[in-house]
Structure 1
């Protein structure tokens, strides 16, 4: 596997507090027609009634955006071993649970988590209603796109994000997310964020579902931000999205029952929180887990630590030409301890540069 590392200057790294902000601030956050590649839904996969692996010919044609190397072979072998009736490694369909991180695993995450861009845009949109923010150093830094100044004013920035992303109903927030995704573009790649999903992973999700697996997202991003679009883009319905969450309150507005977002963190679905989220929402230990960073380490350990056949997979971002190259020194999506664990425990490491023939789907007209 390709294991070269791209070092980044320490001065560009987020402090531990702000690194968590890109994640914890997400937790304060939580149609239009979304761009991207719609994947077959769980319902469609269930209708296929896939009780066993696809035929050898179908397997040979599976995952066309994956090069035929150790990573692709490990995935195909695992699916074949766990779905072949009579095999000693056969896994009943009800136990074929596969979990995927989202940021950096199913779509890109550089130079900041995409939801963080959304949160910052919400602060800018709310600014006319808050003239007092003009004297806030974090707001000044945000309007000047001064990341270094933002890092120095973490507490004030977090307060701005909380104020701009709370107080509305969950339905209002859902519409805001859909509108933003339909209009916003990545600052460097100049494509809609929902087109920056990984084509090889879309194929893997579909292949797993065609073979009776149930696919879940387990992400540090919030369920509020992901649920409006994951079914259309990934084929993963809202009830199979696990993420960070904030408090919501039931109340009546104009005589109508609504849920209102409150600026209070309830749960961070990252690091050791991921196995907890899996236990609470799924109730079954996964047999396949895919991640890309140290925030996924405990999820991979939890998955690999169960009985029977298990597969833990790490996506290594080592393709600076087609996407981004980063790992141990990255300020976002740091991959250090998990990479060492993968080598020590024999987990599958996917080299984006070597294993993927294609990174993103073709652009929409």
Structure 2
């Protein structure tokens, strides 16, 4: 075989495994190229990972028309949390938090109030010290909408895309924020899609933010992404005019408003699943207590065989594991019949072997 053919074969192999030969982490296009058509196509899980084997057995069972547990394709609904389930949530903190701080501290097009500027500096220190309080979280949630108010949906998505393509995960080598998806979990989404499951993301992060993050990475439609909602309004609506009293015309524009509509965690996730999907999921994936309600809703009194999987943040070598939190979630999984996924033991790699934790 000549050198040209050898190079072509090597390039084809690198794409099949999700990496180009000259980058250290999978690019967004390489993440999108991950295909798991059958159980043998999982490359990023350890060979005998119990959680992977349970998922494969489950899918094989419920897609078998001869099985008593067969689920029709139209009822194969799978729901996923986002941060900490599909991508890094410690970069060094949740994506929407870091986007918010960037807007207040580093964006020359936005002039923060004195309070916003002071709070952003306070938040940075708290994140570095791992001491973010509930009060800080509430302030961020309430003020996030106003910080981005007036942007059209297209402008906001472009802003998020620009940010995620230019920033890097702190503490990990050469990993852009927009590429920080867990390779094994991208495989799970692909595997479920190939087996005619309809995949939804049900996140605590703001909906339009998640849409921008996921676009062109995983085969999940924008209308299958559910998250925290901020208000929208017509540009010519008037401050005190309700949307149902405003006529949208050709010279009008839809823009982001300055109000928080809801926070999509815990039971709010259950409510939104019912409102927006209208069917009970049969599979649920998450990583925290904020997903427990979604787990219980999925597996309790379900007319179909159902399962819940929770990721444990137990890898302190390749990621920013939190052993105490991981142990707590493991005990919750054991007590409630959820399947625990060990990032340390079940993932052959998380972001690719060339992405290293910086000590």
TM-score (norm 1): 0.76
Q: Is the deviation greater in 225-234 or in 133-142?
A: 133-142
Write the distance in 2 (CA, Å) between the matches of 1:263 and 1:173. 14
The alignment partner of 1:91 has SS state of coil
Q: Is the 8 A contact 1:83 1:90 kept in 2?
A: yes
1:257 CA displacement: 2.5
Alignment map for 1:38-117 (pairs within 5 Å): 38=32, 58-59=38-39, 61-67=40-46, 68-110=48-90, 111-117=92-98
Among 343, 346, 353, the alignment partner of 1:352 is 343
Q: Could you say what the CA RMSD is over the residues aligned between the two structures, in angstroms?
A: 3.1
* Deviation readout 1:30-69 (Å, 9 max, x if unpaired): xxx956611579xxx9xxxxxxxx7xxx43x132211213
Distance 2:204 2:95 in 1: 12
Q: How many residues align?
A: 312
User: How does the TM-score come out when normalised to structure 2?
Assistant: 0.77
Secondary structure of the equivalent of 1:186? coil
Residue by residue over 1:71-119, the C-alpha shift from the partner in whole angstroms, topping out at 9 and shown as x without a partner, is 1110010000000111111000000111111000000111310121011
CA pair 258-345 structure 1, distance change in 2 beyond 3 A: same
Give the Cα–Cα distance (whole angstroms) in 1 for the partners of residues 139 and 66 of structure 2: 60
Say which structure, 1 or 2, has more relative contact order (CA 8 Å, 6+ apart): 1
Aligned to 1:299: 294
Alpha-carbon distance in structure 2 between the residues aligned to 1:262 and 1:131:
17
Partner residue, 2:181: 197
1:137 aligns with 2:118: yes
Judged with a 3 Å threshold, the aligned counterparts in structure 2 of structure 1 residues 87 and 131 are, in CA distance, closer, same or farther, namely closer
Q: Name the structure 2 match of 1:341.
A: 332
Return 5+ residue gaps in structure 1 as ranges.
1-32, 46-53
1:169 is displaced (CA, Å) by 2.0
Q: Take 1:358 and 1:143, find their aligned partners in 2: how far apart are those partners?
A: 29
Pair 1:309-2:288 in alignment:
no
* Structure 2 CA distance for partners of 1:97 and 1:314, relative to 1, 3 Å: same
Q: Kindly indicate whether residue 188 of structure 2 is the aligned counterpart of residue 207 of structure 1.
A: no
Q: Contact 1:127/1:133 (CA < 8 Å) preserved in 2?
A: no
**Aligned partners of 1:90, 1:153: CA distance in 2, in Å?**
47
1:118 aligns with 2:102: no
CA distance in 2 between partners of 1:134 and 1:277 (Å): 33
Larger deviation: 127-136 or 289-298? 127-136
1:169 aligns with 2:163: no
